[in-house]
Amino acid sequence: MDESKTAISNHVGEGETGPSDRPAKHAKKAKTPAAHDTDDIEVIRGPLAVRPPATPPANGHSGVYRVPLGPESPQLEAVDMETYLMVSHIKPTDQATRRRLRTHGIIHWTFFRATSEAELLELGFTLGIARLLCEGVPRLEAYVAERSVPL
């Protein structure tokens, strides 16, 4: 008879105490560490939790998303960008600032309610212009309040 069919397996199954008398065709081959076995389950770790950095990023962003601000009063919402720039002490001849505003899609003064000097510096504004633009919000509020007629 063929030797592979008559060989006796040394495999000990669950509940068995010694070698089995089953033919070798049911015996499992010895596993080698380098071989891949399709019966093994590979554990794949999921994505790691993202932790905020220990120190704030160099760009000044805290990593916290802003909650959108509500609308301003109708009188303030009606103020156009040119009026805001005038109240902020940006000269009418300062085309570089206006060009940079357009480049970044800043079309309404309300953008400056939720920005910082650091963010404006990242966008390429000079420190002086960034500060004037940020300080323009309270100036505009006072400007509109002075000109509003109480109902």
Task: Identify whether 12 is part of a domain.
Answer: no
Task: Identify whether 97 is part of a domain.
Answer: yes
Task: Identify whether 40 is part of a domain.
Answer: no
22 DSSP assignment: S
Counted domains in the chain: 1
Q: Two tokens at 24?
A: 């070798």
Task: Identify whether 6 is part of a domain.
Answer: no
Question: 15: left (phi > 0), else alpha (psi -120 to 50), else beta?
Answer: left
Burial annotation 80-111 (CB, 10 A radius, 16+ → b, else e): ebeebbbbbebeeeeeebbebbeeeebeebbb
Containing structural domain, residue 96: 74-146
Task: Identify whether 98 is part of a domain.
Answer: yes
Q: Compute CA 141 distance to the chain's CA centroid, rounded to the nearest angstrom.
A: 33
In 10 A of CB 135, how many CB atoms?
Answer: 15
Task: Identify whether 91 is part of a domain.
Answer: yes
Task: Identify whether 9 is part of a domain.
Answer: no
pTM for this model (two decimals): 0.54
Q: pLDDT tens track of the chain, all 151 residues? A: 554 444 444 555 555 555 555 555 555 555 555 555 567 777 666 665 555 444 444 444 455 555 556 567 778 888 899 999 999 999 999 999 999 999 999 999 999 999 999 999 999 999 999 999 999 999 999 999 888 766 5
Task: Identify whether 55 is part of a domain.
Answer: no
